[in-house]
């Protein structure tokens, strides 16, 4: 953390090349909007109150993503280029002094250590500014680092303005700078509109400083992925892949087994405990936490959910915003959602859906059931085909099921309803009234056997007549 540094993140552009109605910086890589990557990294480098985001195109949407983080907002009313974007924040930034780091909202892979090294180099080299660069095989679309005969940086030239020789240069500008703030503001007004585009380029600061007898020093990074700028969805997909590969690599090193890792998707902020085994095509996203010794079956999706130790999720299950305590089982083909909670050792089997439902310790619903807005005690057994009718067409109603209740197969539990502990529901019942503790409820017509019954034979006319359906 550098207490004298401020970070300004440029994020006002539309991102035309994304071909999207959404601002570029709100597209997601590794499960997070691009802008959040930049903000999170900035917070590792400078104090929160010295981090700012420049917004412009669909400003409300980008602000809504930025504000909860605590970063400040700078408004750029017209998108007149990266230099203009920084100048839009003059009132908020100039008095901060110290070092001014200019970062961009479309470069999610840059590492904190690299930003710190950039700021460090600005001090140690006594250069007025430092800039992150890298060497790439295909520099298309990037500004080129043009060096003089002595090998030091002379200017940055945008691709559109390059001569053929300049275009062949493979060292490119990341768009990320660290300036001596005082000298930056002294000279920033010297940026002129680009002849071709009419935009004010931040990159022009290099030539401006050189003219003033000041030097700009590049910090060249070896891993060019770090400075991958996202301008289109091909680059977005590439960044997403890299972030996910980094995450999976780290999890493997931390003792998580991941089968066919190239098929598995795990968001950056997910936590997974040791000796957990993750099957092919699983997705674990958002703020999910998975304990130790769990098994996440193939093709299961776990989003924003908490799983304790030794939880087993069998293949093809979907678990969202829910909690599964230690030794709980779910699936295959289970759907658990909206704050559902399986307590220790609770089991949910195939084709069972749980919504806003708590299942007590050791309770089971193994086949084909819907349990919504329900609270189940411990050791409850829910038979196959049981449905809680929680919706009357207007409102949702609650179902309470006490400890040790046995609900027979194909029961229809009409909420609001209470079934007290150790009660027994006969299979096929429709239950509409409270069932007292220890009693059995039968809510269906009794079976009638008609002994010696024979089907009446059809007449010839009946047997040969065609059935005509009248409208
Ligand atoms: C920019 C650099 C280029 C560098 C590349 C790295 C300039 C002139 N060019 O080009 O040298 O190689 O980044 O990825 O700086 N923005 C604003 N307001 C504006 C214009 C842009 O806030 O008026 C923001 C964008 O939202 C984006 C960032 O600045 O986050 C960069 O803009 P972009 O249009 O992507 O610049 P590039 O053409 O990629
Ligand atoms: Ca860019």
* Positions of the chain with pLDDT lower than 50, given as ranges: none
* Tally of domains in the chain: 2
Q: Say which residue the tokens 């019942």 belong to.
A: 429
Q: What is the CATH number of the domain that holds 143?
A: 3.90.550.10
| Cβ burial 372-388 (10 Å sphere, 16+ → b, else e) | bbbbbbbbbbbbbbbbb
Dist. CA 141 → ligand 1 center (Å): 10
204 Cα nearest atom in ligand 1: 8
Q: What is the CATH number of the domain that holds 286?
A: 2.160.10.10
Report DSSP letters for 405-422, one per residue: -EE-TT-EEESSEEE-TT
Q: Whose CA is nearest to atom 19 of ligand 1?
A: 81
Angle at 402 between CA 401 and CA 408, to 5 degrees: 60
85 Cα nearest atom in ligand 1: 18
Domain's final residue, options 181, 202, 227 = 227
Where in 136-215 does DSSP place strands (E)? 144-147, 153-157, 171-180
Strand partners, 220: 133
Question: What is the β-pairing status of strands 32-33 and 28-29?
Answer: antiparallel
Q: Say which residue the tokens 């400083």 belong to.
A: 209
Give the ligand whose atoms come closest to the C-alpha of residue 173. 1
Domain's final residue, options 170, 198, 227 = 227
For 57, 82, 294, 383, 395, the CA distances from 79, given in Å and listed in that order, are 8, 8, 50, 62, 49
In a domain, 235, yes or no: no
In a domain, 452, yes or no: no
Q: Nearest to residue 51, comparing CAs of 59, 63, 42, 60?
A: 42
Residue 109 has a pLDDT of 96
Quote the CA–CA distance of 401 and 403 in Å, as a whole number: 7
Quote the CA–CA distance of 437 and 422 in Å, as a whole number: 6
Domain that holds residue 437: 240-441
CB count, 10 Å around CB of 337?
18
In a domain, 429, yes or no: yes
In a domain, 250, yes or no: yes
201 and 274 co-located in one domain: no
Q: Whose CA is nearest to atom 22 of ligand 1?
A: 12
179 and 104 co-located in one domain: yes
Please state the separation of Cα 90 from the chain's center in Å: 33
Pocket of ligand 1 (CB under 6 A): 10-13, 54, 56, 76, 79-82, 84-85, 104-106, 142-143, 156, 158, 172-175, 201-203, 229, 231
In a domain, 107, yes or no: yes
Angle at 249 between CA 247 and CA 251, to 5 degrees: 70
Burial class (CB within 10 angstroms; exposed 0-12, middle 13-18, buried 19+) of 397: middle
Dist. CA 216 → ligand 1 center (Å): 19
Dist. CA 229 → ligand 2 center (Å): 5
In a domain, 465, yes or no: no
Quote the CA–CA distance of 380 and 382 in Å, as a whole number: 6
Dist. CA 48 → ligand 2 center (Å): 24
13 Cα nearest atom in ligand 1: 26
254 and 195 co-located in one domain: no
221 and 271 co-located in one domain: no
Residue 469 has a pLDDT of 74
Dist. CA 141 → ligand 2 center (Å): 8
199 and 267 co-located in one domain: no
pLDDT in tens, 214-258: 999 999 999 999 999 999 999 999 999 999 999 999 999 999 999
Strand partners, 134: 172, 221
Residues 6+ apart with CB under 8 A from 231: 15, 17, 18, 24, 106, 141
212 and 245 co-located in one domain: no
130 and 199 co-located in one domain: yes
First to last CA, the chain: 80
In a domain, 460, yes or no: no
Residue 367 among the catalytic residues: yes
In a domain, 446, yes or no: no
217 and 256 co-located in one domain: no
Give the ligand whose atoms come closest to the C-alpha of residue 15. 1
193 and 266 co-located in one domain: no
171 and 98 co-located in one domain: yes
């Amino acid at each position: 953390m550098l207490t004298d540094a401020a970070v300004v993140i440029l994020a006002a552009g539309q991102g035309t090349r994304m071909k999207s109605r959404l601002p570029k910086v709100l597209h997601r890589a590794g499960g997070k909007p691009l802008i959040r990557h930049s903000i999170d990294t900035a917070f590792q480098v400078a104090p929160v109150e010295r981090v700012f985001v420049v917004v412009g195109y669909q400003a409300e949407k980008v602000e809504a993503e930025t504000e909860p983080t605590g970063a400040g907002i700078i408004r750029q009313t017209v998108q007149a280029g990266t230099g203009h974007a920084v100048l839009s924040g003059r009132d908020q930034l100039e008095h901060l002094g110290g070092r001014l780091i200019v970062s961009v909202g479309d470069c999610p892979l840059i590492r904190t250590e690299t930003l710190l090294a950039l700021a460090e180099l600005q001090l140690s080299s006594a250069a007025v500014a430092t800039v992150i660069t890298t060497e790439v095989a295909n520099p298309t679309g990037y500004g080129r680092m043009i060096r003089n005969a002595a090998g030091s940086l002379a200017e940055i030239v945008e691709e559109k303005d390059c001569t053929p020789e300049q275009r062949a240069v493979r060292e490119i500008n990341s768009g990320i700078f660290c300036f001596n703030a005082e000298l930056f503001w002294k000279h920033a007004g010297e940026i002129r509109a680009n002849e071709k585009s009419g935009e004010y380029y931040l990159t022009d600061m290099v030539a401006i400083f050189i003219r003033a007898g000041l030097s700009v020093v590049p910090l060249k990074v070896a891993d060019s992925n770090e400075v991958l700028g996202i301008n289109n969805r091909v680059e977005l997909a590439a960044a997403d892949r890299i972030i996910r590969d980094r995450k999976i690599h780290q999890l493997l090193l931390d003792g998580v087994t991941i089968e066919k890792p190239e098929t598995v998707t795990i968001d950056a902020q997910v936590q997974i405990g040791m000796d957990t085994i993750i099957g092919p095509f699983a997705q674990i996203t958002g703020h999910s936490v998975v304990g130790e010794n769990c098994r996440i079956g193939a093709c299961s999706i776990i989003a924003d959910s908490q799983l304790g130790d030794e939880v087993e999720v069998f293949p093809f299950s979907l678990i969202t915003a829910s909690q599964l305590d230690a030794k709980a089982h779910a699936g295959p083909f289970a759907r658990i959602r909206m704050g559902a909670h399986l307590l220790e050792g609770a089991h949910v089997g195939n084709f069972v859906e749980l919504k806003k439902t708590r299942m007590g310790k050791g309770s089971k619903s193994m086949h084909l059931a819907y349990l919504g807005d329900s609270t189940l005690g411990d050791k409850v057994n829910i038979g196959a085909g049981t449905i809680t009718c929680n919706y009357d067409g207007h409102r949702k109603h609650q179902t309470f099921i006490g400890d040790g209740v046995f609900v027979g197969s194909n029961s229809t539990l009409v909420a609001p309803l209470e079934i007290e502990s150790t009660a027994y529901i006969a299979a096929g019942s429709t239950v509409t009234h409270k069932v007292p503790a220890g009693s059995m409820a039968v809510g269906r017509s009794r079976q009638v056997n008609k002994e010696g019954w024979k089907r009446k034979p059809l007449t010839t006319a009946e047997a040969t007549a065609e059935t005509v359906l009248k409208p």
